[in-house]
Amino acid sequence: MPNTVETNETKIMNTYKRFPLTLVRGKGSNVWDDEGKKYLDYSSGIATCNLGHVPSMVKEKINEQFESLWHCSNLYHIPNQEKLASLLTKNSLFDQVFFCNSGAEANEAAIKIAKKYAKDQGNPERVEIVTFKQSFHGRTGITMAATGQEKIHQGFTPLTPGFRYLPYNDVATLKEVNNGKTTAVLLELIQGEGGVFPATKNWIKELEKVCKENDILLMLDEVQTGMGRTGTLFAHEQYGIEPDVITLAKGLGSGFPIGAMLAKASVAQSFQPGTHGSTFGGNPMSTSAGVATVEFLTQNDFLAEVQEKSAWLRVELEKLEQSHQVIEEVRGLGLLIGIQLCEEAGTWINRLRNQGILVLAAGANVLRVLPPLTTTKDELEYFVEVFQGLLSETEGMTS
């Protein structure tokens, strides 16, 4: 007989090291816990709530859809899906979109289409995809194998074959990209989980050149960097490159689960009925959130305001770097910011949380700061003021 004695232990698998915090409400840049305490959320659901919590423009679209249709099969036409695909292609270099539910699924779709593309082009020997050390592309079987971090691989070997990892931002090793078996390169323009390391423009331009000369697909994981996070709708706009494929998720649905793979027509044609699919991908609810999100991001001068705010924040954080030894480096792009410390990031996450500010880690010693794109100048000033106070207090204690 099974043991039916009730305990206080959770029935949820222990896959997350959770903070001692239960969030029950959010609005704008703020969240509240179950005891009524208010926090400035500069984690944004790990770069997901780019328009803040419960943004009114998305809420209106969701409520409208909520009253009509929640789900239907992709065997039928879905108006919101068509509209979102049109918005994404209109505002990008790409021609067609595949919708799914998450970033990992979007990356899986990119990996699949790259393999199919090679076969369709008469290159069956091209079975490898190059990714980069310290990358992160997801935790499914295939995307975990695509991820260039041993700590992600531990306990799950043998990994799915077909991936090679090269050093990031290393021009000298780009000659190793094409070994005759490579069909695609997959990378992040800012390695978020790997420590918030942006690609250098020289390196990415040289990588693009190698790909174009050898008919190797250039695929960008913009799951975290897309949807305005870096100050442009997509981060690659700031690098002056033309990828063949990009993947999106996180900020695309303002908190509703949705992912997308965008491809140029020459690549997109490799997906035909039966090659890929998703039961929930691009459903009426998630795509209604996506439509509202993209419409807001692309209206008026919103992204110009994001650039202005992020530039101000970067200057202020670099001032703190110059005046406080605990900060080794400030890096990132737009409102995707990494603060390299000479101490463990976890200690500083706790200190900031105790002061009512939520941030994340990106490795052992890097604070990852992800304000909502809608955050106000007053909120940014408050964050800098609190962080500066903690820096001064801590250094005073150790002097």
What does the domain layout of the chain look like in residue ranges? 23-54+302-398, 56-297
Confidence (pLDDT) at 398: 58
Q: CA 236 to CA 229: how far, in whole Å?
A: 12
Which residues lie below 8 Å from residue 171, measured CB to CB, with a gap of 6+? 202, 203, 206
Confidence (pLDDT) at 1: 40
Contact between 142 and 163 (Cβ < 8 Å): no
Confidence (pLDDT) at 2: 44
Assign 3-class secondary structure to 7-71.
Answer: CCCCCCCCCCCCCCCCEEEEEECEEEECCCCEEEECCHHHHCCCCCECCHHHHHHHHHHHCCCCC
Q: CA 353 to CA 360: how far, in whole Å?
A: 10
Give the CA distances from residue 197 to residues 71, 194, 330, in Å, rounded to whole numbers and listed in that order. Answer: 39, 7, 10
Angle, vertex CA 340, rays to CA 250 and CA 350, nearest 5? 75
Confidence (pLDDT) at 7: 47
Comparing CA positions, the residue from 246, 126, 243 lying closest to residue 178 is: 126
56-297 fold: Aspartate Aminotransferase; domain 2 (3.40.640)
Confidence (pLDDT) at 9: 79
SS3 336: strand
Confidence (pLDDT) at 397: 66
Query: Residue 353's CB: how many other CB atoms inside 10 A?
Result: 15
Amino acid at 22: T
Confidence (pLDDT) at 5: 42
Confidence (pLDDT) at 8: 60
The segments of the chain whose pLDDT lies below 70 read 1-8, 396-399
**pTM of the entire structure?**
0.94
CATH number, domain 23-54+302-398, options 3.10.450.50, 3.20.10.10, 3.20.19.10, 3.90.1150.10: 3.90.1150.10
Question: What does the DSSP assignment read for 80-149?
Answer: HHHHHHHHHHHTSS-SEEEEESSHHHHHHHHHHHHHHHHHHTT-TT--EEEEEBT----SSHHHHHHSB-
